[in-house]
Amino acid sequence: MESTTLISLVGEGGELLGVGVIAAGMLAGTLRYLVGLWRREDQAYTEYRHTTARTLLLGLEVLVAADVVRTVAVAPSFGNVAVLACIVAIRTFLGWTLQLEMEGRWPWQRSPSS
Show Cβ contacts of residue 62 under 8 Å, excluding neighbours closer than 6 positions. Answer: 14, 17, 18, 21
pLDDT at 19: 95
Q: Model confidence over 9-29: pLDDT tens digits?
A: 888 899 999 999 999 999 999
Q: Model confidence over 26-58: pLDDT tens digits?
A: 999 999 999 999 999 889 998 998 899 889 989
pLDDT at 2: 81
Q: Model confidence over 78-108: pLDDT tens digits?
A: 888 888 889 889 888 888 888 887 777 777 7
How many whole angstroms separate alpha carbon 78 and alpha carbon 84? 10
Q: How far apart are the first and last CA of the chain?
A: 52
